[in-house]
Structure 1
């Protein structure tokens, strides 16, 4: 690569439930930048994150934070005020993308297919779910990533249990209709969709355990779809990414049901970059090695609004 003269701070850690995954992502990114000759260092952000950034000298931030505080527009807003370019989406897209319910509303209003859902504010609303949804249903804290707190509820008793469990992670909980089908993910880097990955797990769905702990999860590259179907899925995912206003990079999760209909599930505006992560897998299938991928993301860093 051409010489990159700016000093890069890799922001990792944070205080969300995804802290440990973020530390792994950040470490992998930092090592890739150092191998590529970039003047880079890591910052493990704590609750005094603003003060940490104020006393640290750097030119550009590579955001490797997952979850609330780092992927939801908060740290992006701080970086805007500091006048520091950063990787990934801006404040608004980050905020919308972190909110599963708001994301689905944007997609629905744009005419894109996403499973029916409702927001729960209290236990009293669970009865309405039983009357308007067919079991099983998915119960999700709307501001968590990595499938943390997500449960597939098969009946009313499991729904109540899942709701109480989700409240441990978020005061806002969403119930979503369950779509039976095959799960896929599409990475978008520098406005280009990478090859589609198909995920196969023996779990009920592609949950946290399947993502980070199971040795039985299978990632299909090529994804197994007909070339024309894969291309349509890439076009759909790129449109979903653009509708949220994402920049730099991101990843869209999709389920294709038994009739062949693709359903948009959620978007990740700062995807994982661990050894098991999906964006590096898709890039590798395109002939892009990990270090090249990281540097290409760094080169998209910019100020977004102020």
Structure 2
């Protein structure tokens, strides 16, 4: 699909959206730095990396209002749930459409709370259903599924402080690996220390990390080379947009660099159009992304991340 096809596809959505503006009340449920209060947090790598900045939130809110929508905002899930249960929103006047990015706290599955609540009260919402939201937040489970279907499976091992290596499967001694929190995103818990040459004596460190964040850890081979994010619109068709390359230190080839917490939180990275860098690999990743969102059941808008080695072999990258 070329750029004109993508523009026409988006235009069809715009035509549908224009006819719905007067009928919809947009409810933004979002965590915003400085506005969301009273949340559990981690030390050193805060959940704030998942939150909107005030500028980001205002850009979204103001854009929707400029389009002609009526917009109500809630900065945590509890206030929105209270408003629905106690009829503080007039649901008879307009249909509610919830746009949710809230995931307050540190508990596993937290981003599924609002989709599940909306399902129960038959409220429209954007994005995937609660099961798929939680599935895609679980790196081990989602990778285990995709590894059965995609052409370049990524070996993924699971470690927990309660059970050690699951099924006694661990990385090879002397293998360079990266370890990540199984249930987090936005580089939470991911520092430079998380990439190292594996030997079994590292299990003590892994146990402490798992216990500190109260969740399992995944380990994968570390892929030196490039990092790419591929956004995709998922409707009746799955339409991949251009592949977005990650640039660190002004270099497209980031080699042994990666988006650790400090780089992500401080925005010490930039983007470039990977389609212009290597269209052949980009097109292959787009086809795999279409397959991935279908297999996982993603709806609305999604993203599939990749690491690409120096030979051009690419792997789905757990977020």
TM-score, normalised by the number of residues in structure 1: 0.75
User: Match for 2:68 among 19, 27, 37?
Assistant: 37
Is the 2:161–2:207 Cα contact (8 Å) retained in structure 1? Answer: no
User: Match for 1:200 among 244, 247, 262?
Assistant: 247
Per the alignment, in what secondary structure is the counterpart of residue 109 of structure 1? coil
Is it true that 1:176 corresponds to 2:220 in the alignment?
yes
Match of 1:210?
263
Is it true that 1:82 corresponds to 2:121 in the alignment?
yes
How far 1:107 sits from its partner (Å)?
0.1
Separation (CA, whole Å) in 1 of partners of 2:109 and 2:60:
16
User: Are residues 146 and 181 of structure 1, via their aligned partners in 2, closer, same or farther at CA, if it must alter by over 3 Å?
Assistant: same
User: Are residues 137 and 197 of structure 1, via their aligned partners in 2, closer, same or farther at CA, if it must alter by over 3 Å?
Assistant: same
Match of 1:18?
47
How far 1:251 sits from its partner (Å)?
1.0
Q: How many residues align?
A: 266
Tell me whether 175-184 or 223-232 shows the greater mean CA deviation.
223-232
Match of 1:153?
195
Separation (CA, whole Å) in 2 of partners of 1:160 and 1:201:
31
Separation (CA, whole Å) in 2 of partners of 1:75 and 1:214:
28
Correspondences of 1:1-306 after superposition (within 5 Å): 2=18, 4-5=21-22, 6-13=24-31, 15=39, 18-19=47-48, 21-24=50-53, 25-46=56-77, 50-55=81-86, 56-57=88-89, 59-66=96-103, 72-122=111-161, 125=164, 132=172, 134-151=174-191, 152-155=194-197, 156=199, 160-161=204-205, 163-190=207-234, 191-202=238-249, 204-215=257-268, 217-266=269-318
Question: Which structure has the greater CA radius of gyration?
Answer: 2
Q: Give per-residue Cα distances to partners, 1:38-76, cap 9 Å, x unaligned.
A: 101210115566334423425110112257677642221
How far 1:263 sits from its partner (Å)?
0.2
How far 1:170 sits from its partner (Å)?
3.6
Separation (CA, whole Å) in 1 of partners of 2:27 and 2:108:
17
Task: List gaps (5 residues or longer) in structure 1.
Answer: 268-306
Structure with greater contact order relative to length (CA < 8 Å, sep ≥ 6):
1
TM-score, normalised by the number of residues in structure 2: 0.72
Tell me whether 168-177 or 192-201 shows the greater mean CA deviation.
168-177
CA RMSD, 1 decimal:
3.0
Separation (CA, whole Å) in 1 of partners of 2:127 and 2:110:
9
Separation (CA, whole Å) in 2 of partners of 1:139 and 1:148:
12
Per the alignment, in what secondary structure is the counterpart of residue 132 of structure 1? coil
Is the 1:181–1:256 Cα contact (8 Å) retained in structure 2? Answer: yes
How far 1:96 sits from its partner (Å)?
0.7
